[in-house]
Amino acid sequence: MKRAVYVLRMAYIYAQRVDWLLAGDDGEDNLEERLQMELSELKAKYPSGRFTYKTRKVKYDDECGRYRIINEQ
């Protein structure tokens, strides 16, 4: 969920900047400057810029009728 929130906030920033550009509120020169400023603020809030999770290999188990984690030994 944290990764999804980060990506959605980034998408919001891009959408708002493009909207302001198309509406004529900002020019092309302001677009890049303000975009970089807002993205840097976002990256300051989420320093790594990404959230890592351990990936697990799963397999459907017919006996119990659900997915189970495959033990890698």
Tens digit of each residue's pLDDT (9 = 90 or more) over 16-55: 999 988 998 888 888 888 888 998 888 887 766 555 555 6
Q: Where are the domains positioned within the chain?
A: 2-69
User: Which residue type does 67 have?
Assistant: Y
Q: Which whole number is the average pLDDT over 54-66?
A: 74
What pLDDT shows up at residue 3?
79
Give yes or no for residue 56 having a pLDDT over 70.
no
**Cβ-contact 39, 13 below 8 angstroms:** yes
Contacts 24+ apart (CB under 8 A), 24-31: none
What pLDDT shows up at residue 59?
76
Give this prediction's pTM: 0.59
Helix, strand or coil, per DSSP, at residue 60: strand
| CB-CB neighbours of 13 under 10 Å | 17
What pLDDT shows up at residue 47?
66
